[in-house]
Structure 1
Amino acid sequence: MAQDKVWKVVQWATGNVGSRALRMVAKHPRMELVGLWVSSPDKVGRDAGELCGLADTGVKATNAIEAILALDADCVLYMPQGTDYDALCALLASGKNVVTTRGDFHHPPMMDPARRERIEEACARGGTSIYSTGSSPGFVTEALAIPLLSLQRRHDLLTIDEYADVSSRDSPDMLFRIMGFAAPMAPFDHRRAEHLKGDFGSSLAQLAAAIGLPADEIEAAGELSAARTDVEIAAGRVPAGTVGAMRTTITCKHRGRPILQFRANWYVTPDIEHEWNLRESGWRSSTEGDTPVKLDIYFPISEENYAAYTPGLTAHRPINAVPAVCVAEPGIRTTVDLPQVVPLFG
């Protein structure tokens, strides 16, 4: 890789994470923002800098994929809410590598065979590669897990706990209507667990295959726990006896034995009826084997700055992965087969 290489990058979508990525690419010392795709007609024609809180960049937003395809670009940071396989195949076939926060490409063997074939053919035509990553899944389920497991010669179980205290989020619709906090206690909606199973199950399955214990079964389960007392959070009131916490567990098994699991612990109060040992937001990774370790990660940020902080957790690793993906062999790449992602600060 040339030491003075400047990577030409297109940002695709400007949601919460996409806007953070856009700002970081525009400020990156070794990247040049050359294009911006947006879904909202209201953003079309506006300068990229205006859309991410910077001075004008000279790059105008477009929702025409033809305009993006015509650009001379090394990579597209693809961060929409859904995956458009037609658009992705067109981007890859046009010679543009893709790094995405969409979780569809963590473990190619688990992809729909027809979709996988389309993507691989587009990569072959364009001489390009595509890589799914982010913070969770991605960093914590793959990039961090690999060095922890490298300390062992007998592996029993890796457990990754994610803790998310959402009490400071002033988003009543998301917390109460969509997620179901403050709702009467009822059986867990298994569809929620199945939703997480797609991204996290494939990410863990990538790791399982890499360590020689391929997952032959992936389970998804969920639990709810009630708040013990009334609590006031930023979004409103959570009465005692209603949903105060939820836990979703994705487990990969090899020959009937659990080997990898991810637990999403989301809560609005730690004072709940179950002993889940909730702690402040972050991750805990625990290995069980002949050399067990436990690693706790916290986010040392004030509550008032939390909303501005969290998008970077997801947006920054894809940006840092651009150079490695651009020089990788064509095809669907994974954390296991890519070199270590090393950030460029100068």
Structure 2
Amino acid sequence: MQQQSAPDNAVVETPTPRPLRVVQWATGTIGARALRAVIDHPSVELVGVYVHSDDKAGRDAGELCGREPVGVRATNDADEIVDLGADCVLYMPLLFDLDEVCRILASGTNIVTTRGEFHRPAGMDPVVREAVEAACALGGTSIHSTGSSPGFVTEAVPLVLTSIQRRMDHLAIDEYADLSQRNSPGILFDVMGFGGDAGEFADVRLAHVESNFGPSLAALADTLGLNLDTIRTTGELATARSTVTVAAGTIEAGTVAAQRITVSGIRDGRELMRFRPTWYCTDQLDADWDLHATGWHITVDGDAPLDIDMRFPIPLERMSEISPSYTANRAVNSIAAVCAAQPGIRTTVELPLVVPVLA
């Protein structure tokens, strides 16, 4: 039977793609901000929220992130989440759980995470990588690690900046954070060691930072064809010249008031690239450090050299309110690309340019 063609003036309706069904896994500082972004997003649908604490279970998702009720209640039952058959889980817990991740992936649900385990598959623990890739193959799913740092500033931005180079001699990414108005005593004093004695930099702190940023730098180097020989991490401490009161408490004169960690990618015996965060509670230090406003300073030394400041134009008193968006938003904006990707552990370079839907 011959098909009749539609008249020239006929309106052909294109089906509207269904919203991607998304679960928010964990609602800490970054997770709550991601949850808010999902609720507000025009192209995704929140279908579930997983929480760890009993006091959050049963509460409406909107209540957990400063939005009006949306009719989706949080649960601490992982079975309920897996049974939803969502397109994607935004996985943002404090601790990584391999069995948890593999179960989600094997069920047919993709994962976008702000955890740092998946920036460079080649550098992962082989047992972990094999388990995750098997789960991806079983579920036909993919997983991607991203965020502001590492992620955006250690991968996405350098890839754009090096796109106009034909020779790169050195890449330096400096991160600055003025923590004077961050009211988090547990993090600043107990975890980061501000206000403590200025002895040797704790090895565990160096290892933690290296495990987060080393794989990201190595993945960038691999992509550029400049494979690194090793990652080297060092730390420096600076003390307060006088006693200072910050939002989190008091830092006595002579105690730690700033710290700087350098994660260096070494090639042929020299530093080819580095990521160096400088975190400080006051600029009145016993060290002559170059302290920028909160944000990033990036330099590229090559045949098309660049020197770029990327500052957060936010009053310090509002920093804790706004800064989580820098990490959470990139994860939310990556959902569609990760859902469309081939199964497996997917890196920044394997995904298309992350373009947000801002309607």
TM-score normalised according to structure 1 size: 0.97
In 1, distance between residues paired with 2:310 and 2:18?
Answer: 33
**Residue 70 of structure 1 is aligned with which of 79, 83, 102?**
83
Cα displacement string for residues 108-129 of structure 1 (whole angstroms, at most 9, x for unaligned residues): 0110001101110111111110
Aligned AA for 2:86? A
Residue identity (%): 52
In 1, distance between residues paired with 2:37 and 2:254?
Answer: 43
1:333 to 2:346 alignment: yes
Give the structure 1 partner of residue 148 of structure 2: 135
Give the structure 1 partner of residue 35 of structure 2: 22
Tell me whether 158-167 or 273-282 shows the greater mean CA deviation. Answer: 273-282
Give the structure 2 partner of residue 105 of structure 1: 118
In 2, distance between residues paired with 1:18 and 1:345?
Answer: 20
1:313 to 2:326 alignment: yes
In 1, distance between residues paired with 2:245 and 2:56?
Answer: 36
In 1, distance between residues paired with 2:18 and 2:302?
Answer: 43
TM-aligned CA deviation for residue 49 of structure 1:
1.4
Runs (5+) with no aligned partner, structure 2: 1-14
Matches within 5 A, 1:248-259: 248-259=261-272
Aligned AA for 1:8? R
In 2, distance between residues paired with 1:75 and 1:261?
Answer: 33
In 2, distance between residues paired with 1:322 and 1:3?
Answer: 18
In 1, distance between residues paired with 2:306 and 2:16?
Answer: 37
TM-aligned CA deviation for residue 56 of structure 1:
1.7
Give the structure 2 partner of residue 324 of structure 1: 337
1:190/1:221 contact within 8 Å kept: no
Aligned AA for 2:248? A
Cα displacement string for residues 270-320 of structure 1 (whole angstroms, at most 9, x for unaligned residues): 122222210111001111111110111111112222111011111000000
1:291 to 2:304 alignment: yes
Residues paired across the two proteins, number: 345
1:150 to 2:163 alignment: yes
1:122 to 2:122 alignment: no
2:265/2:271 contact within 8 Å kept: yes
Give the structure 2 partner of residue 10 of structure 1: 23
1:275 to 2:288 alignment: yes
In 2, distance between residues paired with 1:331 and 1:294?
Answer: 36
TM-aligned CA deviation for residue 267 of structure 1:
0.4
Cα displacement string for residues 25-76 of structure 1 (whole angstroms, at most 9, x for unaligned residues): 0111111001111000111111111211222212111111111111131100
1:48/1:60 contact within 8 Å kept: yes
1:129/1:325 contact within 8 Å kept: yes
1:270/1:279 contact within 8 Å kept: no
**Residue 90 of structure 1 is aligned with which of 68, 86, 103?**
103
Give the structure 1 partner of residue 12 of structure 2: none
TM-aligned CA deviation for residue 3 of structure 1:
6.3
**Residue 355 of structure 2 is aligned with which of 336, 342, 345?**
342
Give the structure 2 partner of residue 245 of structure 1: 258
In 1, distance between residues paired with 2:302 and 2:59?
Answer: 54
Give the structure 2 partner of residue 184 of structure 1: 197
Tell me whether 326-335 or 181-190 shows the greater mean CA deviation. Answer: 181-190
Give the structure 2 partner of residue 59 of structure 1: 72
Q: Secondary structure, in 3 states, of the residue corresponding to 2:334?
A: helix
Give the structure 2 partner of residue 196 of structure 1: 209
Question: Which is higher, the Rg of structure 1 or of structure 2?
Answer: 2
Runs (5+) with no aligned partner, structure 1: none
